[in-house]
């Protein structure tokens, strides 16, 4: 079994012989051969319905909607890699009348803003900007509260308000303007549950109840979060309320082309959107989720405190389903998971008025205790 040593915490981090997930991943266990319990489960094989089935579904919805509509669909457009390709796909492949909705927030890199303008202009798509004050206010307050007593489980709060915007503001606009379809760019490989499961702590099961108990415990340990009831409310929405059964016959109808119909392929996606002038900020090292500094901060501190983050989990799944070799995945993680200290320092100072070194000193103490 491959073993790494965390010198700061002075603990051993074992990694799965197959998928490379670490031993501190929530709920993970290893057998005598060094294979993790997630690898031992049968990985779901995704069977895509195909482009023709997608077109049929789209036309069926449009046929039953108001003929006087101005737009056929809405695309939540962050300016990132996935949403940019989805916008292209909706306009140039599905041939739909598309409205792009961008949730404006304070943590957008300049390159992301350029991507939004460039791609939309070249595709001939109108962009509607909606201010996401929930992320601006609640997300910022949560990072500041977290900095008072850093804890990896509460890194999930950095993006508080983001899901609120995606799940509430965009569908609401589509309903109010009679737009029948909401296209979403999710893929089956990005279901990353560890971030919220960390809240469950020592509980054996990851349920709503154990998450709420774990969350309450973290609030007790760091009462700074209690200074903003509105942020706590948004956190609970993020952690709990958006999960569960999907309601049927709700407008707009949500369709996930790359989850159910067509496989998302990076070697096709990147060249396609680059033709329309899309780029990512090279200081971020990766094209994946490069559209928000709050997420970059979150990924940095997961890596700093746990030794892994979303990249490790994403590539572990790709290894398990045979999309990439373990060796290539490790290389990708090393290349894309580099975070420059001066970039993180700048983000903390400019966007949150926080001091990097003060936070790092607290993290050092946390790692020694744990």
Q: Any idea which of 4-18, 258-272, 315-329 has the lowest mean pLDDT?
A: 4-18
Nearest partner of 134 among 230, 69, 218, 47, judged by Cα: 230
321 burial (CB, 10 Å; 0-12 / 13-18 / 19+) is middle
Strands (DSSP E) along 113-173, which ranges?
Answer: 126-131
N residues, the chain? 370
Tell me what the pLDDT averaged over the chain comes to.
Answer: 88
The pLDDT confidence band at residue 11, using thresholds 50, 70 and 90, is low
186 burial (CB, 10 Å; 0-12 / 13-18 / 19+) is middle
The pLDDT confidence band at residue 2, using thresholds 50, 70 and 90, is very low
Strands (DSSP E) along 151-256, which ranges?
Answer: 181-183, 253-255
> What is the reported pTM?
0.91
360 burial (CB, 10 Å; 0-12 / 13-18 / 19+) is middle
**How high is the pLDDT of residue 247?**
55
The full set of domains in the chain, from first to last, is: 51-190+223-283 (3.40.50.620)
Residue 246 has pLDDT above 60, yes or no: no
Q: Which two tokens stand for residue 346?
A: 């700048």
Please check whether residue 14 is in contact with residue 1, taking contact to mean a CB–CB distance below 8 angstroms. yes
**How high is the pLDDT of residue 9?**
41
List, for residues 91-135, the tens digit of each pLDDT value: 999 999 999 999 999 999 999 999 999 999 999 999 999 999 989
């Amino acid at each position: 079994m491959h073993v790494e040593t965390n010198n700061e915490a002075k603990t051993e981090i074992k990694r799965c012989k197959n998928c490379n997930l670490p031993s501190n991943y929530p709920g993970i266990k290893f057998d005598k051969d060094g294979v993790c319990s997630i690898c031992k489960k049968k990985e779901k094989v995704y069977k895509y319905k195909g482009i023709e089935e997608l077109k049929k579904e789209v036309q069926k919805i449009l046929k039953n909607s108001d003929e006087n509509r101005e737009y056929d669909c809405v695309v939540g457009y962050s300016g990132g890699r996935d949403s940019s390709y989805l916008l292209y796909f909706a306009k140039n492949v599905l041939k739909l009348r598309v409205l792009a909705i961008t949730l404006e927030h304070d943590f957008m890199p300049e390159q992301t803003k350029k991507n939004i303008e460039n791609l939309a202009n070249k595709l001939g798509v109108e962009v509607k900007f909606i201010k996401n004050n929930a992320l601006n206010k609640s997300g910022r307050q949560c990072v500041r509260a977290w900095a008072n007593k850093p804890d990896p489980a509460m890194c999930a709060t950095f993006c508080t308000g983001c899901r609120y915007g995606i799940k509430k503001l965009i569908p609401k606009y589509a309903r109010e303007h009679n737009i029948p379809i909401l296209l979403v760019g999710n893929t089956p490989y990005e279901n990353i549950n560890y971030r919220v499961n960390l809240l469950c702590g020592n509980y054996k099961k990851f349920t709503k109840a154990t998450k709420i108990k774990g969350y309450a415990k973290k609030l007790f340990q760091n009462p700074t979060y209690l200074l903003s009831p509105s942020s706590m409310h948004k956190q609970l929405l993020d952690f709990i309320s958006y999960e569960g059964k999907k309601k049927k016959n709700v407008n707009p109808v949500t369709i996930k082309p790359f989850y159910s119909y067509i496989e998302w392929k990076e070697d096709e996606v990147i060249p396609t959107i680059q033709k329309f002038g899309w780029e990512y900020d090279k200081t971020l090292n990766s094209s994946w989720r490069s559209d928000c500094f709050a997420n970059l901060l979150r990924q940095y501190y997961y890596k700093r405190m746990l030794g892994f983050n979303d990249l490790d989990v994403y590539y572990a799944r790709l290894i398990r389903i045979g999309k990439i070799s373990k060796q290539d995945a490790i290389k990708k993680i090393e290349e894309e998971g580099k975070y420059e200290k001066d970039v993180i320092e700048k983000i903390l100072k400019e966007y949150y008025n926080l001091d990097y070194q003060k936070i790092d000193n607290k993290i050092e103490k946390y790692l020694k205790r744990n």
